[in-house]
Amino acid sequence: MSRTVAEPVRTHCPYCALQCGMQLTPGPVPAPDAPAASVSAPAGREPLPVVAPRDFPTNAGGLCQKGWTSATVLGVPDRITTPLVRGADGELAAATWDEALDVITEGVRSVQAEHGPQGVAVFGGGGLTNEKAYTLGKFARTVLRTPNIDYNGRFCMSSAAAAGNRSFGADRGMPFPLTDLGGAEVVLLLGSNPAETMPPFVQHLAGAREHGGLVVLDPRRSATARLAADGQGIHLQPVPGTDMVVLLALLHVVVAEGLADRTYLAERTSGWDDVVRSVAAWWPERAETVCGVPAEELRTTARRLAAAAPSRGGRGAYVLTGRGVEQSSQGTATVTAAINLSLALGLVGREGSGYGCLTGQGNGQGGREHGQKNDQLPGYRKIDDPAAREHVAGVWGVDPAVLPGPGLPAVALLNALGTPGGPRALFVHGSNVLVSAPNADRVRERLEALDLLVVCDFVPSETARMADVVLPVTQWAEEEGTMTSLEGRVIRRRQVTTAPGEARSELWLLAELARRLGSEVSFPTDPAVVFDELARASAGGVADYSGLSHARLDAAEDAGAPGLFWPCPAPSAGEPEHPGTPRMFLDRFETPDGRARMVPVDHVGPTDDVRGDAPTYLVTGRVLQHYQSGAQTRRVPELDRIVPEPYAELHPQLGLRVGVADGARVRITSARGVVEATARWTDVVRPDTVFMPFHWSGAGSVNRITSDAVDPISSMPEFKVCAVSVSPAAHGERDVHDSQEVPA
């Protein structure tokens, strides 16, 4: 029987790490101003919930196009509703859960008998709830006993994480509430385009824009860079791959003009003298010859930042980094340069100022804190730390000796699949590596070489279509759990509707697989119980959740506190509950001596730099309407109609030089392959640069030609810049996306 009246349920958008607050009202009656896509559903399925924004700190009552249409994905026509197993004819066909799990169990046992525990690998996702991410890591290490687990968060903010851990002793993307940005006089935003990737974020830049203090570093005049125009700030437009040069020059000016906060440096940091020497060679005029940013713009920016710093009586300044500077073979060093600049000005660990990283994926923060990363255990503990191993093993009820050591990080893991000595079986959860990984044609080859590929998903992504077994799982509005936003705010995800068909939670299927594989380790399936176990496992770690629970988060929200920030340790006997930590580092950093470490770095340049046969830079990014690999948003008609296919932005000068007209098909070639797309002439890109968004598969899938060179510290791949040649496409049909269907 259809419902006509229902109470709205508080939850959060399923997409980016802003985790905008929304409420969902079970269908079928729409709100008067709700988009039509929010209420229609395939015949025979439960009506879709109606989406409405709510007043949550990160979005303050706003939603982007993706958020408004998010309920549509719950009822897409090709939703996977039953397990699928590839038969002798090579086709995926519907199967029962018993049949699918039997195939997986037999496949895992066969691979491990021949290749050992490391013969099976796991690749997770930054969109999984904390409970599912934690359980996936526990399953890999106690049931499969494989070291080879990593996740697509490696592609998200691993460079910022590595730099933050090295300098501060802790990695929380933004160690302060997002609302703090509103009072800042200057915000330096490096390599991020939130006006398109997370639009509600932009309201938090209003204070800086009002003071003319929004500074955007981007080789492209993005929607965010345009916000800095008209007297509201500065757009610095460097040569792709030279972001670090800009930062080194800014710090050079701070040193040369005596703008550093010397009292703060003496009291709260170490390594300043070495950093001073490291930037001595990067005076603005020299930097201009490398990065292309005029020397006077560099000086003006440094002076504006310094004038806004607390030590000089300013209203506050923030330095924020994003994927554009982090997805680089020198990403960790570039973020370190941003941190050094922030520390030199005395911004970090002070209310109203700071350094932060804009996490991309919905649970990119929590996903790495609790066990998906190749070298970490819950609570952000290092897996090779004996004390950490003993603590977590005690919670899991296993001998610490059975826990494997560090495994291969994402790119190395994908490249090792099916090779001698490499994994022969792979579980994929919440990731579409065939579109989102760099050098994606090589990834396809490696997936084809596997003995067993198991993909858990709710839509037939490009990776799922290659699988031997596809398992239908629940998605955001069909499950309970928690997420951790880009601020380190732990929030509740709540169930509003039931999953269709045979779709089940990964908590259930991992517990069932553990049982079938003979494990005696307990795998609870109630998300609240799983969270309680996660909290115990995290106790005493850097990311301490031990004072949190579903019940406490619910009670806090009912009382008007929207989520609680980690670290939030459990109280000792007789003590009150810990209030959480909205602002970190106010008293000390998480290093042994409490001081932030300043680390000298220098510019090396892209691994794949321009040359005679590849004279043009390729940079990649996102569009407002699509998210990540597009597996979800390309299935939303309203979004797909606006941007239905990949395209390439060319400056008119480049178009004329290579003979590619506006609207014509263009061929872009790197050392790894070729893609084709429709050319768009625009002056938002530099004449030496072509830009492509990465949300599509097929002939226009730009990650087929991006570089899989990695940062030596973070193992972050160099997505954001490589050398290409640009030429007219001889012929070829437009490739919107692979429309192959699988049974639903």
Q: What is the pLDDT of residues 685-706, one digit of tens each?
A: 999 999 999 999 999 999 999 9
600 part of a folded domain: no
Region 395-418: what's the mean pLDDT?
A: 97
Which pLDDT does position 230 carry in this prediction?
A: 75
pLDDT, position 618: 98
Q: Within this chain, do residues 169 and 265 fall inside the same structural domain, yes or no?
A: yes
Q: pLDDT-derived band of residue 731, with 50, 70 and 90 as boundaries?
A: low
Residue 359 buriedness (CB in 10 A; 0-12 / 13-18 / 19+): buried
Cα dihedral: 246, 248, 250, 255 (round 10): -170
| Section 291-315 average pLDDT | 97
CB 185 within 8 A of CB 347: no
Same domain, 298 and 377: no
Judge if 289 and 185 occupy the same domain. Answer: yes
422: pLDDT strictly greater than 90? yes
Pairing between strand 233-236 and 120-124? unpaired
How far is the C-alpha of 194 from the C-alpha of 197, rounded, in Å?
5
Question: Mean of the pLDDT values across residues 449-478?
Answer: 97
43 pLDDT tier (thresholds 50, 70, 90): low
For residue 300, pLDDT over 50 is answered with yes
Integer Cα distance of 719 and 435 in angstroms: 12
Same-domain pairing of 492 and 626:
no
Last residue of a domain, one of 339, 357, 375: 357
| Residue 574 covered by a domain | no
Mean pLDDT of 298-316: 96
The CATH number of whichever domain residue 71 belongs to comes to 2.20.25.90
Q: How far apart are CA 49 and CA 364, in angstroms?
A: 26
- Are 219 and 266 within one domain? yes
pLDDT digits (tens, 9 = 90+) for 82-116: 999 999 999 999 999 999 999 999 999 999 999 99
C-alpha dist (Å) from residue 653 to 442, 529, 582: 33, 60, 48
CATH number of the domain enclosing 201: 3.40.228.10
Q: Is residue 589 part of a domain?
A: no
What's 697's domain CATH number?
A: 2.40.40.20
Q: Which of 323, 357, 391 is the last residue of a domain?
A: 357
Residues 63 and 110 in one domain: no
Can you tell me which residue has the tokens 């061929």? 667
CA distances from 189 to 236, 662, 744 (A): 10, 31, 43
Q: Taking the CB of residue 78, how many other CB atoms lie within 10 A of it?
A: 14
Whether residue 735 has pLDDT greater than 70? no
pLDDT tens column, 702-721:
999 999 999 999 999 999 99
| Domain region containing 683 | 616-728
Q: Predicted confidence band at 38 (pLDDT cuts at 50, 70, 90)?
A: very low
Which pLDDT band, with edges at 50, 70 and 90, does 732 fall under?
A: very low
Number of folded domains in the chain? Answer: 4
Any domain includes 556: yes
Nearest to 716 by CA among 145, 328, 235: 328
pLDDT band at 739 (very low <50, low <70, confident <90, very high): very low
Rounded alpha-carbon distances, angstroms, from residue 205 to 214, 317, 624: 7, 11, 18
pLDDT reported for residue 573: 87
Residue 733 has pLDDT above 90, yes or no: no
Cα(29)–Cα(6) distance, integer angstroms: 9
Query: What's the token pair of residue 609?
Result: 């730099």
pLDDT at 39 over 50: no
The mean pLDDT value of the chain amounts to 94
584: in domain: no
Whether residue 147 is found in the same domain as residue 162: no
360 falls in which pLDDT band (50, 70, 90)? confident
- Give 368's pLDDT tier (boundaries 50, 70, 90): confident
Confidence of residue 373 (pLDDT cuts 50, 70, 90): very high
Q: How confident is the model at residue 574 (pLDDT cuts 50, 70, 90)?
A: confident
Per-residue pLDDT tens digits for 52-68: 999 999 999 999 999 99
SS3 of 603-671: CCCCCCCCECCECEEEEEECCCCCCCCCCCHHHCHHHHHHCCCCEEEECHHHHHHHCCCCCCEEEEEEC
**CA nearest neighbour of 304 among 351, 357, 222, 236:** 236
Co-location of 432 and 470 in the same domain: yes
Q: Are residues 485 and 538 in the same domain?
A: yes
Q: Tell me if 739 sits within 8 A of 358, measured CB to CB.
A: no
Q: Supply 400's token pair.
A: 């610490």
Q: E strands of 226-353, at which residues?
A: 233-236, 269-270, 317-321
CA distance 365 to 486: 6
In a domain, 454, yes or no: yes
Predicted confidence (pLDDT) at residue 3 exceeds the cutoff of 60: no
The three-state secondary structure class of 471 is: strand
The mean pLDDT value for 533-562 works out to 97
Determine, yes or no, domain membership for 599.
no
Q: Which two tokens stand for residue 723?
A: 């050398």
| Domain assignment of residue 196, yes or no | yes
What is the band of 743 on the pLDDT scale with cuts at 50, 70, 90? very low
Same domain, 654 and 690: yes
Residue 288: band (very low, low, confident or very high) from pLDDT cuts 50, 70, 90: very high
Instruction: Yes or no: say if 80 and 742 are a contact pair by the CB < 8 Å rule.
Output: yes
Same domain? 656 vs 689: yes
Among 19, 50, 75, give the residue marking a domain's end: 75
Do 372 and 516 lie in a common domain? yes
Average pLDDT estimate for 512-523 = 98
Mean per-residue pLDDT, 378-388: 96
pLDDT for the residue numbered 42: 56
Q: Which residue has the higher pLDDT, 365 or 657?
A: 657
Least confident span in 92-101, 148-157, 214-223, 642-651: 148-157
What is the band of 657 on the pLDDT scale with cuts at 50, 70, 90? very high
Q: What is the pLDDT confidence band of residue 2, given thresholds at 50, 70 and 90?
A: very low
pLDDT exceeds 80 at position 282? yes
- Whether pTM exceeds 0.85: yes
Which strands form 564-565's sheet, in the order they lie side by side? Answer: 481-484, 489-493, 564-565
Residue 507's domain is classified under what CATH number?
Answer: 3.40.50.740
